[in-house]
Structure 1
Amino acid sequence: MSASSTPGHSRLTKAHKLSFAGVATLGAAALAFSLVPAGAAEGDTIPAAPVAWTQVVDGAQTKAVQQHLSAQLVVADKAAKDAAAKAKADAAAKAKAKAKADAEAAAKKAREQKEAASRSAARTPVFANNLDGWIKEALFIMKKENIPGSYAGIHRNIMRESSGNPMAINNWDINAQNGIPSKGLLQVIYPTFKAYHVKGTKFDQYDPVANIVAACNYAADRYGSMDNVNSAY
């Protein structure tokens, strides 16, 4: 059948439709960029209001920057807290190590003192509580103090002075008359005992060991040794 048209109507071809679409598009574009108000001179235009795209982009960028800064702050805060926690842990570890070292040092010192006391006790012999033991103990002390004298020399003088009685006292000689009687195994007067007393022995004229050591110390100073004394001295 051949194409026909109804009176008063025109049939649009495909070309016509495309043409109208192009015109509409161009018109919309023109309106978007410029408007000509009434009474405006030819060629005058008014820029169209900016599209909100720039505002959207700026807002998105600002939000992104804020989020980035916030994330950095969180990271920095966490790093600071981690550093503080590490410093605290390190300090606690150092304090614990120091306390342990101090405790070990104190324990070592206590052990050494105990061992030294034990060695000292082992080196110190036990002496009998009689004339033989007193002379031997006195000689043990005299050796450490570099005081000369022998067992024989000490024993000889003791037997002459007191007959081996540690409580012997002379109440009749000149010393007694002067108020300073001779006392003990080797008949030592108080001024002599006080001047020649050896530290570590009892400060007692009647103590047998203290008496022997002080007398031997005096004899060494005056005669060279108790071995050189053969009479009243």
Structure 2
Amino acid sequence: MFKNANTSGPGLALTKAHKLSFAGAAAVGTVALAFSLVPAQAQTSPPTGTVSAAPVAFSQDSAKNVKASVADQVTDAKKKAADAAAKKRVADAAKKVADERAKKAAASRAAQRAKLKAAAVKSYSNNLDGWIREALDIMKKHKIPGTYHGLHKNIMRESSGNPRAINNWDINAQNGVPSIGLLQVIKPTFDAYHVAGTAWSQYDPVANLTAAANYAADRYGSIDNVNSAY
């Protein structure tokens, strides 16, 4: 360089306008470079903070909805349980009333049956007529033939209607087995032809009549066929 060279000439000196131009260009270049370095997806995707906020808000709302739904279900379940309990109480009360009515009705029927049974029990007078009639009913039950007349005529001939009558003089008496009772039955005959349900005594009027009628039916066909000592 020449010692005396003038460096401030127009050709070498930068004007203020030139400096501004260079500065502007540099700034524009820097901005362009910055944009070119940003990833493509960063230009279209929302900021990270915004993306994460939406799911958090959704989860909170869902939790509230689930909680409300569970509460509603619990309330419904309690209501159904209360309704079922109320229905059961009503049903139990109705059953109790029905059972009590059934028990009362059964007791009433039992009482009526007892009355009917008591009324159905036939009573007989404690005399010859009553003894014959009772004997005839027992004979009918055991299918032993005989009539009132057949019994009565033989009673009058044998004992005159005395249930305590006893024969102490005939052959049976001599053999130690005297004839006893209304139809003068000896002990072996009475025992062999005794009718179930009657007393085990030759002196009992009904037992004596039924045993004698049973024996006569076996030997003669019926007490009605007996017209003399038998």
The answer to whether the superposition gives a TM-score over 0.5 is: yes
Aligned sequence identity (%): 56
For 2:144, which of 139, 142, 147 is the aligned residue? 147
Aligned Cα RMSD in Å?
Answer: 3.2
Paired position in structure 2 for 1:76:
77
Paired position in structure 2 for 1:188:
185
Q: Once the two structures are superposed, what CA deviation does each residue of 1:194-224 show, in whole Å capped at 9, x if it has no partner?
A: 3333344333211122211221121112101
Change (3 A) 1:68 1:151: closer
Change (3 A) 1:54 1:201: same
Contact 2:155–2:183 under 8 Å retained in 1 = yes
Higher alpha-carbon Rg: 2
Instruction: Tell me by how many angstroms 1:82 deviates.
Output: 2.5
Q: Once the two structures are superposed, what CA deviation does each residue of 1:122-146 show, in whole Å capped at 9, x if it has no partner?
A: xx3643x333443344345434544
TM-score normalised over the length of structure 1: 0.65
Instruction: Tell me by how many angstroms 1:95 deviates.
Output: 4.7
Within 5 A, what are the aligned runs for 1:1-233?
Answer: 42-43=37-38, 47-50=47-50, 52-118=53-119, 120-121=120-121, 124=122, 126-127=124-125, 129-176=126-173, 178-233=175-230
Letter of the structure 1 residue corresponding to residue 49 of structure 2:
A
Letter of the structure 1 residue corresponding to residue 102 of structure 2:
A
Change (3 A) 1:53 1:156: closer
How many residues were matched structurally? 191
Contact 2:185–2:212 under 8 Å retained in 1 = yes
Letter of the structure 1 residue corresponding to residue 164 of structure 2:
M
Q: Once the two structures are superposed, what CA deviation does each residue of 1:42-63 show, in whole Å capped at 9, x if it has no partner?
A: 4366934237454233212211
Change (3 A) 1:49 1:137: closer
Change (3 A) 1:79 1:199: same
Letter of the structure 2 residue corresponding to residue 63 of structure 1:
K
Q: Once the two structures are superposed, what CA deviation does each residue of 1:76-104 show, in whole Å capped at 9, x if it has no partner?
A: 23313432442454245335424432431
Distance 1:63 1:151 in 2: 103
Change (3 A) 1:130 1:83: closer
Instruction: Tell me by how many angstroms 1:153 deviates.
Output: 3.2
Letter of the structure 2 residue corresponding to residue 106 of structure 1:
A
Distance 2:178 2:36 in 1: 151
TM-score normalised over the length of structure 2: 0.66
Change (3 A) 1:162 1:126: closer
Contact 2:182–2:208 under 8 Å retained in 1 = yes
Distance 1:88 1:190 in 2: 72
Letter of the structure 1 residue corresponding to residue 38 of structure 2:
G
SS at match of 2:211: helix
Per mean C-alpha deviation after superposition, the further-off stretch among 216-225 and 104-113 is 104-113
